[in-house]
Structures are given as C-alpha cells and as structure tokens.
C-alpha cells in the first residue's frame, strides 16, 4: 500500500466515521415522512433501526436539532395545512394526518401557525378568491 492509499484510508475513517449514525437518523426521518399518519412512538422507531431509543433521541437531536416526535408533529401540521387548503374539513384533516384528538390538534396547530385550523382555512379560501378575481 502506498503512502497516498494509506492517507486516503486514514482520511476516509475520519470523515465517514459516523456514517452509520447518519444512515440511522436519515432512515428514521424517511420513515416518519412516509408514515406520519400512523401511530408512531419512540419504541417503534428505535426497533426499526435496531438502536436504543435514548441513543436515537440523542442522534436525531444532534443531526436535526429536534426530537423525532417534534419532527413528526411538524410533518403532521404541514400535511394538515395542505389538506385544509385542498378543502378537507378540520376534523377530516386532523384524523387524516394521524392525530387522535381534535382538541390537541387545534391547540398544536395554533401554537405552530399562530392561527386556528379554521382561521387558516378561511384565510386560504379568501386568498384563493382574490387570486381568481385578479
């Protein structure tokens, strides 16, 4: 093995030393993206990638700056906004994205967006009417 090959191997181990961690976190995030509407919890997510739930929490927070649950809630709110814009009722949207409580959904939606789901929907409809007139 030449000096350059040794040096490349040394650099590769330094740069890609945490590739498994990164793949684990990316895999969990992709799973959340594709299954946000089902009942996800930390135990299930940790079993999917064969990692301790506490280690998963630390890794996810390290790479994404939030916990898997926070990521899940953000994804659900994002999808519920799309549903509301597309004409779903608040209740339909709530259950379609995986929330089990309409009250919790409304509270979280208002916390994240500054508006209740119905206010958000009314605002979107009024914007679309203005755009149609233009």
Give tens-digit pLDDT for 29-53: 999 999 999 999 999 999 999 999 9
User: Is residue 131 over pLDDT 70?
Assistant: no
| Residue ending a domain, choose from 67, 84, 112 | 67
User: 69: Cβ–Cβ under 8 A, 6 or more apart, which residues?
Assistant: 42
Task: Mark whether 75 and 41 lie in a shared domain.
Answer: no
Task: Mark whether 122 and 76 lie in a shared domain.
Answer: yes
Task: Mark whether 54 and 39 lie in a shared domain.
Answer: yes
User: 112: Cβ–Cβ under 8 A, 6 or more apart, which residues?
Assistant: 73, 74, 77
How many domains, in total, are found in the chain?
2
| Residue ending a domain, choose from 22, 41, 67 | 67
CATH number of domain containing 115: 1.10.10.60
pLDDT at position 86:
93
User: 113: Cβ–Cβ under 8 A, 6 or more apart, which residues?
Assistant: 77, 81, 120
Overall average pLDDT of the 57-62 stretch: 92
The domain containing residue 104 runs over which residues?
Answer: 71-133
pLDDT at position 129:
63
pTM: predicted TM-score of the whole model, two decimal places: 0.80
CATH number of domain containing 60: 1.10.10
User: Is residue 133 over pLDDT 60?
Assistant: no
């Amino acid at each position: 093995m030449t000096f350059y090959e040794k040096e490349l191997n040394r650099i590769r181990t330094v740069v890609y030393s945490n590739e498994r961690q990164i793949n684990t976190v990316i895999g969990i995030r992709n799973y959340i993206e594709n299954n946000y509407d089902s009942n996800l919890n930390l135990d299930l997510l940790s079993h999917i990638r064969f990692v301790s739930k506490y280690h998963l929490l630390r890794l996810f927070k390290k790479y994404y700056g939030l916990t898997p649950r926070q990521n899940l809630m953000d994804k659900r709110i994002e999808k519920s906004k799309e549903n509301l814009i597309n004409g779903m009722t608040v209740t339909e949207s709530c259950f379609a994205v995986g929330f089990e409580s309409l009250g919790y959904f409304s509270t979280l939606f208002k916390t994240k967006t500054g508006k209740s789901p119905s206010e958000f929907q009314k605002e979107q409809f009024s914007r679309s009417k203005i755009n149609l007139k233009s």
